[in-house]
Amino acid sequence: MGRKPAAWFLVLTVVLVLVSPQACRKPSRNVLAPEYGRGSQEFDQRLNAAKNKQEYDSFLKERETWLNGLVLKYGSQRLTVEDSIALARAYCDLQRFDKAITLLEPLSRKSEDPELFKAFVNSYMGAKRSGDAALLLGRARTVVKDLKGLAHLYLLVGLSQQKIADAIPLLETALRYPLPSQWDRYVPVAMNVILTYGGLSSEQSRVFLKGLKETYRGVPTILTAVEGKERLLNFIGKRAPELSSSGRWINSRRGVKLSSFRGKYLLLEFFAPWCSHCRASIPLVEGLRKEFSPKGLAVLGVTLFNGSFFDGEVKIEKVGRQKEFALIEAFAKKKGMDFPILVTSGKRVYEDFAVQGIPHFVLLSPEGKVLRFGIGEDKEFFSYCQTLLRSGKR
């Protein structure tokens, strides 16, 4: 898994396939003049009968020329909103998102039609103008009475934002509505962004998760993710369980118990060498350790035997447990991870600490109680740790 906070943007490689250009296809045949319907049918037949790529590309160019002619012939004054949407979708099908945008732009300032916003947002996303798409959806929030039909676009555009602050209001809007099933896999990603960066209190987080459970009560994958987050919230303030999985230890001959760290803050780090975001988070952990070890911070790592090995450089498809342990040990040494690390095949310890993705961090108080969780390269988590440890509170 290995998600980092910014990892949510990696999903876009997959998400864009769902909306651009395919989502712009199939213009409605009955809203434009009969000329459009006849011409579209003719070009569809010619494209289907194309003998080779050269002929196919030639027909596409002819189709664009024909669309340009329709726009000139009917003009913006004679085209209805429905006509403009149909033509814009046809331009999207040709990946001429610039022309679709030009056609729709004048209408966006005066129309409340959700279909117009759909076509316009898809055109912006096809043109890789997610910032403009976000602004447009901001306007839609004030003029469109029912945003349910646009919810998937709020999700898409929210996940495409470079700045977390721009993403959160879009994602919050998206998750107020049930999304089509093809978007289910992205709901937990949006949920994690909101919970991690949305500035919600524990009680607000519980209300947010309760709403998600009601909205997606028939979707097991989403419910599992939501319930995992609820477990995390319910865990905070409680005493952490002992490590329940056995295994082999790095940097400790006999292994350790969490209770042996009483009197110190303890940072649990769940990681894997193959996880790029885990590797990227190692310097963040090392920064904390370097500054606060003398002031009472300890670190303990947990990772799984995987049956293979990859650390960004060395890749071995199948490896025996003894060899894998040696490779993980060498990885830890190379990365300066000289604290105790449990290497286990048992997943119970992951379940005990509600680990759904890695890297996953848990900060325990000197009394052994859970103070906070962090997922990925969660800078807010590390900032929280720094503030707490610098305060000298026990």
Q: What's the mean pLDDT in 208-233?
A: 91
> What pLDDT does 6 receive?
42
Q: Please determine, for residue 132, whether its predicted confidence score (pLDDT) is greater than 90.
A: yes
- The CATH number of residue 385's host domain is 3.40.30.10
Which pLDDT score, from 0 to 100, does residue 246 have?
80
What confidence score (pLDDT) does residue 1 get? 45
Mean pLDDT of all residues in 349-359? 87
Classify strands 315-316 and 309-310 as parallel, antiparallel or unpaired: antiparallel
Query: Domain ends where: 209, 235, 261?
Result: 235
The tens digit of pLDDT for each residue in 262-288 reads: 999 999 999 999 999 999 999 999 999
Tell whether 241 is covered by a domain: no
Q: Do 211 and 286 belong together in one domain?
A: no
Band (pLDDT 50/70/90 cuts) for residue 17 is: very low
Instruction: Give me the chain's average pLDDT, please.
Output: 86
Q: Stretch 354-372: mean pLDDT, rounded? A: 91
14 domain-assigned? yes
Q: Is the pLDDT of residue 141 over 70?
A: yes
Q: What is the pLDDT of residue 19?
A: 45
Q: What is the pLDDT of residue 273?
A: 96
Domain that holds residue 308: 247-391
Pair (252, 366) in one structural domain? yes
Residues 186 and 106 in one domain: yes
Under the banding of pLDDT at 50, 70 and 90, the label for residue 77 is low
Question: In this prediction, what percent of the chain has a pLDDT beyond 90?
Answer: 56
Q: What's the pLDDT at 13?
A: 38
Domain C-terminal end among 235, 257, 288: 235
Mean pLDDT computed over 196-222: 89
Same domain? For 45 and 176 the reply is: yes
Give the model's pLDDT for residue 22.
Answer: 41
Q: At 12, is the pLDDT very low, low, confident or very high (cuts 50, 70, 90)?
A: very low
> Do residue 146 and residue 88 come from a single domain?
yes
| pLDDT score of 18 | 40
User: What was the pLDDT predicted at 393?
Assistant: 65
For residue 167, the model assigns a pLDDT of: 94
Kindly state whether residues 92 and 212 are assigned to the same domain.
Answer: no
pLDDT at residue 295, as a whole number: 86
Q: Give the model's pLDDT for residue 76.
A: 67
Could you tell me if 312 and 269 lie in one domain? yes
Position with higher pLDDT, 74 vs 68:
68
In a domain, 13, yes or no: yes
In a shared domain, residues 163 and 264 = no
Query: Average pLDDT in the 139-152 region?
Result: 91
Domain membership of residue 133 (yes or no) is yes
> Residue 365: pLDDT above 90?
yes
pLDDT, residue 106, reads: 86
Taking residues 345-372, report their average pLDDT. 90
Q: How confident is the model at residue 254 (pLDDT cuts 50, 70, 90)?
A: confident
Q: What is the pLDDT of residue 11?
A: 41
My answer on whether 350 and 374 are in the same domain is yes
pLDDT tens-digit map of 162-200: 888 899 999 999 999 999 999 999 999 899 889 878 888
Same domain, 308 and 380: yes
- The per-residue pLDDT for 394 is 55
Taking the alpha carbons at both ends of the chain, their separation in whole angstroms is: 34
* Same domain? 174 vs 231: no
Asked if 66 and 145 sit in the same domain, the reply is yes
Q: Has residue 240 been placed in a domain?
A: no
79-110, pLDDT tens digit by residue? 888 888 989 999 999 999 999 999 998 887 77
- Tell me if 242 is assigned to some domain: no
Q: Is position 44 within any domain? A: yes
Three-state DSSP string of the chain:
CCCCHHHHHHHHHHHHHHCCCHHHCCCCCCCCCHHHHHHHHHHHHHHHCCCCHHHHHHHHHHHHHHHHHHHHHHHHHHCCHHHHHHHHHHHHHCCCHHHHHHHHHHHHCCCCCHHHHHHHHHHHHHCCCHHHHHHHHHHHHHHCCCCHHHHHHHHHHHHHCCCHHHHHHHHHHHCCCCCCHHHHHHHHHHHHHHHHHCCCCHHHHHHHHHHHHHHCCCCHHHHHHHHHHHHHHHHCCCECCCCCCCEEEECCCCCCCHHHHCCCEEEEEECCCCCHHHHHHHHHHHHHHHHHHHHCEEEEEEEECCCCEECCCCEECCCCHHHHHHHHHHHHHHCCCCCCEEEECCCHHHHHCCCCCCCEEEEECCCCEEEEEEECCCHHHHHHHHHHHHHCCC
Query: Is there a domain that residue 142 lies in?
Result: yes
As for how many domains the chain has, the answer is 3
